[in-house]
């Protein structure tokens, strides 16, 4: 999370500046994080279906 990024930046003599970040409670922040990840996983089955179709089309009959 952010703490890991902050540590990495600190070890490389960098700083992270957060601009316009509203303060959220831990549960609200967790919900926001999960909602940002959901589209990635919901799109994956469609991509796998398309990939499987291409494999079936390329496979020789037999």
**pLDDT tens digits, 23-41:** 889 899 899 888 888 877 7
Check if the beta carbon of residue 2 is closer than 8 Å to that of residue 12. Answer: no
Q: How confident is the model at residue 9 (pLDDT cuts 50, 70, 90)?
A: very high
Residue-level pLDDT at 47: 66
Q: How confident is the model at residue 46 (pLDDT cuts 50, 70, 90)?
A: low
Which token pair is 9? 């930046």
The domain of 52 spans 23-62
pTM of the model: 0.39
Distance CA 28, CA 30 (A): 5
Give domain status of residue 4, yes or no.
no
Give domain status of residue 57, yes or no.
yes
How many domains does the chain fold into?
Answer: 1
Give domain status of residue 9, yes or no.
no
């Amino acid at each position: 999370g952010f703490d890991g990024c902050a540590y990495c930046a600190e070890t490389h003599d960098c700083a992270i500046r957060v601009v316009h970040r509203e303060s959220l409670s831990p549960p609200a922040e967790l919900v926001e994080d999960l909602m940002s990840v959901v589209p990635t996983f919901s799109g994956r089955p469609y991509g796998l279906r398309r990939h499987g179709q291409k494999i079936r089309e390329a496979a020789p009959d037999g």
